[in-house]
Structure 1
Amino acid sequence: MSFKSIIQDMKGELGSISRKGFDVKFGYGMRSRSHRVVQDSSVPVDVFRQSCWANMPPELLRDVLMRIEASESTWPPRKNVVVCAGVCRNWREIMKEIVKTPEISCKLTFPISLKQPGPRNSLLQCYIKRNRSNQTYYLYLSLNQASNDDGKFLLAARKCRRPTCTDYIISLNGNDVSKGSSTYIGKLRSNFLRTKFTVYDAQPPNAGAKVTKSSSTRLITVKQVSPRVPAGNYPVAHISYELNVLGSRGPRRMQCVMDAIPASSIEPGGVAPTQTEFLHSNLDTFPSLLFFRSKSTRSESFRSGPLSEQKDGMLVLRNKSPRWHEQLQCWCLNFNGRVTVASVKNFQLVASPENGVAGQEHENVILQFGKVGKDVFTMDYQYPISAFQAFAICLSSFDTKIACE
């Protein structure tokens, strides 16, 4: 029996159960209106637990799900893993244990993976498409080496110009990029000169995170989730571009201070904070299976102490200095073939020497961003930053900076 036929059978069974429950609740099919049978609202009905698939022996179920997770290594077949987690609660609980974080598995499976650090010792290849007409940017996971393939959609951002700053609203939904949306997960805000940027997370990245009060801080309504959970502005990174006061021509120089990541994370055996679940979501828009808790044995040790106690040890990233190519008459960096078009926006970020690192750790590229087409840019990142943080840092490069170039 194929996996596709199993899913079809499950959909049919769940649909019939839902219809039966609907008919019983509203008395459909009863001959006498005065003798209708109504479901007691005080007794919850778990449709997923009524499915026969929830009664599979745990040992057999675990073996089946482990085989599926191991066989579906890349998208689009990876969607079968997501479907399995939505069959019933038993399947979802087992998937919590099987599916690992990107740090360990090098895979992006569920939306919470976008908030977790990338893989160690290898760059996760993505690309960004820019839509000039509506000032929107879309992040995709590359399915192959081509940058113009139909990748897996990850995040979207919309540029909002204001009199004193520029905001980039980041969302999980490419069709609803607004701060009032239930899929809003953070934003990027610039200063007036667009030389300094702050990355805000909608939820605390660690136990010691402090919310920044502003008029834009909102609360999730009771209709969305109960109890009410604040969707605040938690600063997780500060990006600055050096002012070019002399007007000399040259590449941009940028620095990123990662408020939520300690400098020790890039050392051998170092640990970066790992978010395990979304604190708020609109269940009518996204099923709960997409926001489940993903276990990681390496993330628990860091959360024992708040990050505020390690304020002096924040991770600092600087752009790698390019070299001048005499024959080409331009500044060059080795992007290993991932960048094909010269642009002032291109950069590579490495750990700053002030973090106390030296040798190979200092030379490892943590994030690289570059142009490959008119509105197509590659974005490759790795541990200890997440896809959300990498995307926000790359968005800062799109703004025109008169004082820097």
Structure 2
Amino acid sequence: MSFKGIVRELKEIKDGTGSTSKKGVEGKRWLSRNRSHIAPDVALFKPIQQGNWANLPPELLLDIIRRVEESESSWPARTVVVFCASVCKSWRDVTKEIVKTPEECGRLTFPISLKQPGPRDEPIQCFIKRDRSTSTYRLYFGLTPSEESDKLLLAAKKIRRATSTDFVVSLVADDFSRASNTYVGRLRSNFLGTKFTIYDCEPPNDAAVHHNSRSSRRFNTRQVSPRLPAYNYSVATISYELNVLRTRGPRRMNCVMSSIPVSSIQEGGTAPTPTSFPQCYDDKSSSLRISEGKDLALNFSSRKLSSSSLTPPLSGEPLVLKNKAPRWHEQLQCWCLNFKGRVTVASVKNFQLVANVYPSLNISAAEQEKVILQFGKIGKDIFTMDYRYPLTAFQAFSICLSSFDSKPACE
């Protein structure tokens, strides 16, 4: 039977126009024989069974994916590992078991890698492209821009408001809606551009949402799908010191990483490492609901939670990052830092961040001098960004975005 004949038979049966003659009986028989090939709104069908790829022996599948993961070490060949996880559920489970976090392997594979701390030894090297015409910033993986297609990690769009400036961060470069499932977080400044707050779309750990915490929904549950992230969590604050006397020198900044304890940089310390993006926020696990239109701001630094609601990743003092002190170069007549060849253009935006710790903490001098985040200019609208443990790509990118905002009170 031709395709047009099948459509005609289905239409007659659905509309009831077919007679009870032999033709109608044959149509009903054909319908019963081909239930699995009809749309769900026409006939019920059994769940689709997984293909032959899902029936591979677990030992063989484990060996195959392990070899693929070891051979494809960098992008764009790294996409093969992602394709393996897209075959079926059994392949996805094995792939997620084999692929390690950036802290363990130094590689970025799945989108959740952007929310996990970087490696402890060597930093992950990226670069940022700025588009002045569209006020967008794109974070790419790699040393420098290449002629080939670069791997896009994150994108941000600058939105000016009456009393503040927002940088909305997304996984894609063409959708910055906060109702989208590609929404990652945002950065908001105060009126003077001297203080910024980083908001994450998910808590730094599973126990961060409590009924006794003050919160609000970005959207009413009826407005968007319940599978979309419905919250913003304040995970860090960035402060730039005022330059009232207009003295010479680089910008001075401090970053209070409220979601990262200072113990994470100690020997044996750990930083919060999420394993997946939030899938659902129901009323049982969510906080108190308030009127729609208001914004959520769960702040882990300024709000004191009860000791019973704290978990080890959020306990203790938060990690504080500060500018590494530059030195004055007499011959060049400028302030200099050793960027190890990663920065080639002088700019007030260039900086290196190190941990600012108390002398009482048992942290070695080498750990205190280790550069956790490095940002600098290498060309027109092109900047490098190198980050390491315990920062994530999202947190590092947000800190660098704060440097792009105008700061008349700091310069």
Tell me the TM-score normalized by structure 2. Answer: 0.80
- How has the CA–CA distance of structure 1 residues 44 and 205 changed in structure 2, closer, same or farther, with 3 Å as cutoff? farther
| CA distance in 1 between partners of 2:224 and 2:54 (Å) | 29
Who is 1:45 aligned against? 47
- How has the CA–CA distance of structure 1 residues 219 and 376 changed in structure 2, closer, same or farther, with 3 Å as cutoff? farther
Whether the aligned pair in 1 keeps the contact of 2:260 and 2:314 (CA below 8 Å) is no
Who is 1:251 aligned against? 250
**Structure 1 residue 220: deviation in Å?**
6.2
Who is 2:27 aligned against? 33
- How has the CA–CA distance of structure 1 residues 44 and 112 changed in structure 2, closer, same or farther, with 3 Å as cutoff? farther
| CA distance in 1 between partners of 2:222 and 2:65 (Å) | 36
**Structure 1 residue 353: deviation in Å?**
2.9
Q: Secondary structure at the match of 2:158?
A: strand
Who is 1:125 aligned against? 125
In terms of Rg, which structure is larger? 2
The Cα offsets for residues 26-73 of structure 1, whole Å up to 9 and x where unpaired, read as 969x984333133577766245x1x11111111111111110011001
Matches within 5 A, 1:321-360: 321-354=325-358, 356=361, 357-360=363-366
Whether the aligned pair in 2 keeps the contact of 1:218 and 1:230 (CA below 8 Å) is no
- How has the CA–CA distance of structure 1 residues 254 and 212 changed in structure 2, closer, same or farther, with 3 Å as cutoff? farther
| CA distance in 1 between partners of 2:252 and 2:44 (Å) | 62
Matches within 5 A, 1:86-105: 86-105=86-105
Q: Secondary structure at the match of 1:96?
A: helix
Matches within 5 A, 1:46-65: 46-47=48-49, 49=50, 51-65=51-65
Range with greater deviation from structure 2 (155-164 or 36-45): 36-45
Who is 1:140 aligned against? 140
The code of the aligned residue for 2:62 comes to: R
Which of 372, 377, 397 is equivalent to 1:366? 372
The Cα offsets for residues 103-132 of structure 1, whole Å up to 9 and x where unpaired, read as 001000000000000011111000000010
Matches within 5 A, 1:83-232: 83-142=83-142, 145-148=143-146, 150-209=149-208, 213=215, 217-218=218-219, 224-225=225-226, 230-232=229-231
The code of the aligned residue for 2:406 comes to: T
Who is 1:293 aligned against? none
Q: Secondary structure at the match of 1:70?
A: helix
| CA distance in 1 between partners of 2:336 and 2:311 (Å) | 40
Q: Secondary structure at the match of 2:237?
A: strand
| CA distance in 1 between partners of 2:242 and 2:377 (Å) | 23
**Structure 1 residue 185: deviation in Å?**
1.0
The code of the aligned residue for 2:370 comes to: N
**Structure 1 residue 245: deviation in Å?**
1.5
Range with greater deviation from structure 2 (115-124 or 35-44): 35-44
Whether the aligned pair in 2 keeps the contact of 1:199 and 1:236 (CA below 8 Å) is yes
Who is 2:311 aligned against? 306
| CA distance in 1 between partners of 2:357 and 2:97 (Å) | 38
Who is 2:303 aligned against? none
**Structure 1 residue 280: deviation in Å?**
3.1
| CA distance in 2 between partners of 1:309 and 1:132 (Å) | 38
| CA distance in 2 between partners of 1:254 and 1:358 (Å) | 23
Who is 2:293 aligned against? none
Matches within 5 A, 1:253-272: 253-272=252-271
**Structure 1 residue 219: deviation in Å?**
5.2
The answer to whether 1:279 aligns with 2:278 is yes
Which of 393, 397, 400 is equivalent to 2:403? 397
Q: Secondary structure at the match of 2:208?
A: coil
The code of the aligned residue for 1:102 comes to: P
The Cα offsets for residues 264-300 of structure 1, whole Å up to 9 and x where unpaired, read as 101122100001101138xxxxxxxxxxxxxxxxxxx
Whether the aligned pair in 2 keeps the contact of 1:260 and 1:307 (CA below 8 Å) is no
**Structure 1 residue 224: deviation in Å?**
3.7
The Cα offsets for residues 184-215 of structure 1, whole Å up to 9 and x where unpaired, read as 0100000000100000001111134357746x
Unmatched 5+ stretches in structure 2: 1-5, 14-22, 281-308
**Structure 1 residue 133: deviation in Å?**
0.4
- How has the CA–CA distance of structure 1 residues 153 and 103 changed in structure 2, closer, same or farther, with 3 Å as cutoff? same
Q: Secondary structure at the match of 1:397?
A: helix
Whether the aligned pair in 1 keeps the contact of 2:272 and 2:313 (CA below 8 Å) is no
**Structure 1 residue 352: deviation in Å?**
0.4
Q: Secondary structure at the match of 2:100?
A: coil
| CA distance in 2 between partners of 1:85 and 1:231 (Å) | 27
- How has the CA–CA distance of structure 1 residues 206 and 402 changed in structure 2, closer, same or farther, with 3 Å as cutoff? same
4+ residue segments displaced more than 6 Å: 40-43
Q: Secondary structure at the match of 2:238?
A: strand
| CA distance in 2 between partners of 1:161 and 1:222 (Å) | 25
The code of the aligned residue for 2:385 comes to: M
The Cα offsets for residues 325-345 of structure 1, whole Å up to 9 and x where unpaired, read as 111111110010000000000
Q: Secondary structure at the match of 1:154?
A: strand
| CA distance in 1 between partners of 2:312 and 2:237 (Å) | 16
Give percent identity, aligned residues only: 57
| CA distance in 1 between partners of 2:223 and 2:343 (Å) | 47
